[in-house]
Amino acid sequence: MKHNPEPPNGKLGVLLPGLGAVATTFIAGVLAVRKQLAEPVGSFTQMGTIRLGKRTEHRRPLIRDFVPLADLDALAFGGWDIYDDNVYDAAVNAGVLDTQLLDALRDELSAISPMAAVFDHEYVKRLDGPNVKKGKDKMALAEALVDDMERFRSEHGCDRLVMIWCASTETFIEEQDVHLSIDAFEQGLRDSHPAIAPSMIYAYAAIRSGVPFANGAPNLSADIPALVELAKRTGTPIAGKDFKTGQTLMKTIVAPGLKARSLGVHGWFSTNILGNRDGEVLDDPGSFKTKETSKLSVLGSIFEQDFNSKLYADLYHKIRINYYPPRGDNKESWDNIDIFGWLGYPMQIKINFLCRDSILAAPIVLDLALLLDLARRVEMSGIQEWLSFFFKSPQAQEGLRPQHDLFQQLMKLENTLRFVQGESLITHLGLDYYEDTPED
């Protein structure tokens, strides 16, 4: 691993499988920020600051001034979709951003047209589209994606690429033998094995080409031993799964607080209404199971039930997602939390979050693109656990429990950046109260 990387030269190509609501909101957002039409609110790298050194030093630069990340002007955008709408039309269809803003960006957005997707209706039952690649087997489809990336790289004069999966949630697949080694996986590609979903083909093509890969959806994709091994072999950073937005963001803010105060929880009921295409896809039981598994993992890990059995052993956690078209991308979620306190006396908390799904997800796409590019430049390969902050179901090394607590995730993220830049790590000990030499 390298420290104090040089500022990056040249262009960074951001390639997005899936040019739907999240991806188009991300691209239009970056273009709007570039033109100073809006602020990149919600982006850790653009708006966030980081404390450095002792508190008495009062150093708190913006993250983007502290670490040499790619500049927004140096980003080029591309992607794949099963529909052939250009990004302007897709953004209008998604209905997230005002048409007035989109019209101000129309030329740039219309110039981005999706490349033909690797797609199979079997893995996303609610969708079908015309812009799909044909190939004799799944390996041939992977090769076609590698060619797409190379063509994009040369046409746009990119020095580096990253790929962020923003496509629909695929049906639930469990880890199987074909996922366990690179050899088995490559044979599986040649045999078009049914347990190799399209998202895994994109992930394989990226990782084999040394292109950092992040997975914004809950499907397994790169979270299988074969692709983790390939990432180590090709020196490629990978991260996933499932952007942490909306209800799960709230959960990972509230749950650590309850645990910190040793308050017990009997039950946590979470329900949502959502009317965008993502909601329609999640209406299919196979895709819903993938999402449910991702969302359910959060509380068990934060409450560490095996170590805190008196407080959380009988926790009942239920999640519902209901497709309700009138709401479009403006999701509404309700949480009912049955908690108990001193001597076991019960209390309740209700959270009603009227959020905008893609508005919360778009800045995460930007942060991941810039931070994965940084990881590649400082030669951090394989699973990027320090990026867990951005995910609902963080990918972790085998045998390790993923970290879900947002505040521990933030500490790890910030300390990793300090480490990369050769700054001292911050422990929040505050020894200056008790010792002559202030340390922290």
What is the contact surface with ligand NAD in residues (CB under 6 A)? Answer: 17-23, 80-83, 94, 117-119, 124, 127, 129, 166-169, 198, 216-217, 242-243, 245-246, 276-278, 281, 357-358, 360-361
Which C-beta is closer to ligand NAD: that of 60 or that of 151?
A: 151
Q: Which two three-digit tokens encode residue 310?
A: 């008196």
Q: Which two three-digit tokens encode residue 75?
A: 């980003």
Which C-beta is closer to ligand NAD: that of 12 or that of 166?
A: 166
CA 340 distance to own-chain centroid: 33
Which C-beta is closer to ligand NAD: that of 170 or that of 423?
A: 170
Look at the block and give the residue holding tokens 């709007």: 32
* Closest CB 244 distance from ligand NAD, rounded Å: 7
Please report which helix (H) or strand (E) contains residue 160, including its range. Answer: strand 158-165
Which C-beta is closer to ligand NAD: that of 46 or that of 287?
A: 287
* Closest CB 111 distance from ligand NAD, rounded Å: 18
Q: What does 51-82 look like in DSSP terms, one character per residue?
A: -BS-GGG-B--BHHHHS-PPPGGGEEEEEEES
Which C-beta is closer to ligand NAD: that of 204 or that of 243?
A: 243
Which C-beta is closer to ligand NAD: that of 131 or that of 234?
A: 131
User: What angle do the packed helices 357-377 and 246-260 form, to 10 degrees?
Assistant: 80
Which C-beta is closer to ligand NAD: that of 66 or that of 119?
A: 119
Q: How many CB atoms lie within 10 A of CB 395?
A: 24
* Closest CB 34 distance from ligand NAD, rounded Å: 21
* Closest CB 329 distance from ligand NAD, rounded Å: 7
Per the CB < 8 A criterion, the answer to whether 17 and 23 are in contact is no
Which C-beta is closer to ligand NAD: that of 284 or that of 385?
A: 284
The contacts found for 85-93 with CB under 8 angstroms, 24 or more apart, are 85/19, 85/114, 86/110, 86/111, 86/112, 86/113, 86/114, 87/19, 87/23, 87/24, 87/27, 87/28, 87/112, 87/113, 90/19, 90/20, 90/23, 90/24, 90/114, 91/24, 91/25, 91/27, 91/28
Tell how many helices (H) and how many strands (E) occur in the chain.
16, 11
* Closest CB 27 distance from ligand NAD, rounded Å: 11
Instruction: Please give the C-alpha separations between residue 65 and each of 31, 375, 393, in angstroms, as whole numbers.
Output: 20, 17, 29
Q: Which residue's beta carbon is nearest to the bound ligand NAD? A: 20
* Closest CB 122 distance from ligand NAD, rounded Å: 11
The residues, ordered by sequence, that sit 6+ positions from 249 with a Cβ below 8 Å of its Cβ are 360, 406
Give 179's DSSP letter: G
Phi, psi at residue 374, to the nearest 5°? -60, -45
Q: What does 33-44 look like in DSSP terms, one character per residue?
A: HHTTSS--TT-H
* Closest CB 403 distance from ligand NAD, rounded Å: 18
* Closest CB 160 distance from ligand NAD, rounded Å: 22
* Closest CB 294 distance from ligand NAD, rounded Å: 8
Which C-beta is closer to ligand NAD: that of 386 or that of 391?
A: 391
* Closest CB 24 distance from ligand NAD, rounded Å: 8
What type of residue sits at position 358? S
Which C-beta is closer to ligand NAD: that of 278 or that of 373?
A: 278
Per the CB < 8 A criterion, the answer to whether 223 and 203 are in contact is no
